[in-house]
A and B are shown apart, each in its own frame.
Chain A
Amino acid sequence: MVKELLTGNKATAYGAMYARAQVIAAYPITPQTTIVERIADLISEGRMHAKYVKVESEHSAMAASVAASNTGARAFTATSAHGLALMHEVLMWAAGARTPCVLVNVNRAMGPPWSVWADHQDAMAERDTGVIQFWCENNQEIFDTVIMAYKVAEDHDVMLPAMINQDAFYLSHTSEPVDLPDQEAVDGYLPPLDPMVKLDVEDPKGFGSLIMPPQYMEFRAHMARSMDNAREKIRKADREWEELTGRSYGGMMDMYRCEDAEFVLFGAGTMMSTAKDVVDELRKENRRVGIARLRVFRPFPVDEVRYLADRVHALGVMDRTYTFGRGGPLYNEVNGQLYNHSNRPPTKNYVIGVGGRDVRPKHIRALFDDIERVSKEGYGDEGEIHWWGLLDGTTPEVEK
């Protein structure tokens, strides 16, 4: 085992190398570009053995990944924001064709207004594609998750593509120490891809064929079932990774000091690291608070959200994006999973950090104050959804 100082993007490239990805479909986009650049270096240095395909768009990058996966190869690609949006059609294809490719998405705001900074809209808009979604908060987790994602995606009870999300710049371009395990240990954890079907000239087949109405639903129900299967496979992959490396990310959700918490904030990405530090401070002030960090968005952590609902007085949901029309995507998911549950604490949506606006400790502290107020006094005139930190004075104690 060695320890290296790696940016999130380099940790991603190392993850693909340790996972022994065999085909890399590469197309640049800020802030992802240094992932495929580093992979090109690793291949030219002879450290990584993969076919590097320079494609003409993200749509082609994902198409090349699907095709590689169809031949039985382990495929990898990476993108951000508008690149992910351009992949949308092929993400649907990758999932429906049941090709266990892995991609890393560096979460970046969608334009216009043009932006390259952290925002979760790009990935959350891919909710319905049938792609498994992991979410990371540090560079070690990114490296580990690339390897775990292949293990889950390639499981014969799952066979779906997986996407790993990391925040633009906060992770992609920030260096952190990352433990790199021995290659043999990773090989023991992640055996070579064992495809259920593959393109074979000795046994010709046509993939993606027309399915008539009496059968299409069965294929989609099979996908739904496989995505549900992924929950237990993710928990198992996490346990086995912990046995190997000592590191766990909580299985389906990363819960921090939630066991006895009265007030919990739920959210995704790097802002939840800041929030954990604030929880430590508030605990010293005898406030029973905790953080639930989204680890997996698809499949959704239903049991974990209901576990929280059984314990807390109120749940604040932080969304680093918005579903134009009503609420943030995580907020809508949480409320959807609680309606048919016996315990339904008040929930409030905090739309925060959109387009890379900093989420600071004092903001997290104010959110805990606000959710506690909601649990005692109700929503008041403001309602359930608060765009936190707008420059119009609607947010307490936020500087202009």
Chain B
Amino acid sequence: MPQTVDEIPITPMNTVDSSIVKTGAWRAFRPICDNSRCIKCWTCWKFCPDVSISISEEGPVFDYDHCKGCGICAEVCPVKCIEMVPESK
């Protein structure tokens, strides 16, 4: 709801958790992991700049609501088991 000059806060602020702001729609390429080849080193988890990879027994779990498809995980994977697949497919 728009606020008047008298109503706005002194500085622009977010008071909502960024987890509810879904930014995954920006993505052009989607990371897909071949878990059969994953060595569970978690380099992808450590490098993900958007905290969109979590750890599971099977392999990395991607949070597609927030992953922007930058491809860093695929680039740093030592066994190259993450593939960037076009969203158009």
Contact = CB atoms under 8 A, between A and B. Distances in A.
24 contacts: A96-B11, A98-B10, A197-B11, A204-B15, A204-B17, A205-B14, A205-B15, A206-B13, A206-B15, A207-B12, A207-B14, A208-B11, A209-B12, A209-B13, A209-B14, A210-B12, A215-B8, A218-B3, A218-B4, A218-B8, A219-B8, A222-B5, A222-B10, A225-B5
B2 A97 contact: no
Given A206-B18, A225-B5, A219 B12 contact: yes
Contact of B12 (A159, A196, A204, A208): A208
A301 B3 CA distance: 31
Interface in A56-102: 96-98
Contacts of A211: 12
Contacts of B2: 214-215, 218
Interface string A359-385: 000000000000000000000000000
A211 B3 CA distance: 12
A159 B9 CA distance: 12
A204 B18 CA distance: 11
A271 to B, nearest CB: 38
A391 interface: no
A221 interface: yes
Interface residues of A, number: 21
Contact of A98 (B4, B11, B15, B18): B11
A208 B14 CA distance: 8
Interface string A185-201: 00000000000110000
Contacts of B3: 215, 218
Which bracket fits the contact residues of B?
10 to 19
A219 B6 CA distance: 10
Given A197-B11, A209-B12, 11 more contacts: A97-B11, A98-B11, A196-B10, A204-B17, A205-B13, A205-B15, A208-B11, A209-B14, A210-B12, A218-B5, A221-B5
Interface in B1-43: 2-5, 8-15, 17-18
Interface of B: 2-5, 8-15, 17-18
Nearest to A220: B5
Contacts of B12: 207-211, 219
Given A214-B2, A215-B2, A215-B3, A207 B13 contact: yes
A186 B2 CA distance: 42
A159 B11 CA distance: 10
Contacts of B18: 206
In this complex, the member of B8, B12, B13 whose beta carbon has the largest number of chain A beta carbons within 10 angstroms is: B12
A170 B72 CA distance: 55
B5 to A, nearest CB: 5
A275 B21 CA distance: 61
Contacts of A196: 10-11
A90 B10 CA distance: 18
Nearest to A215: B2
A206 B20 CA distance: 14
A209 B12 CA distance: 6
A120 B9 CA distance: 35
Nearest to A225: B5
Contacts of B15: 204-206
A287 B12 CA distance: 55
Interface string A203-244: 011111111001100110110010000000000000000000
Contacts of A204: 15, 17
A270 to B, nearest CB: 36
A211 B2 CA distance: 11
B19 to A, nearest CB: 12
Contacts of A205: 13-15
Contacts of A197: 9-11, 13
A386 to B, nearest CB: 43
A98 B8 CA distance: 13
A159 B13 CA distance: 16
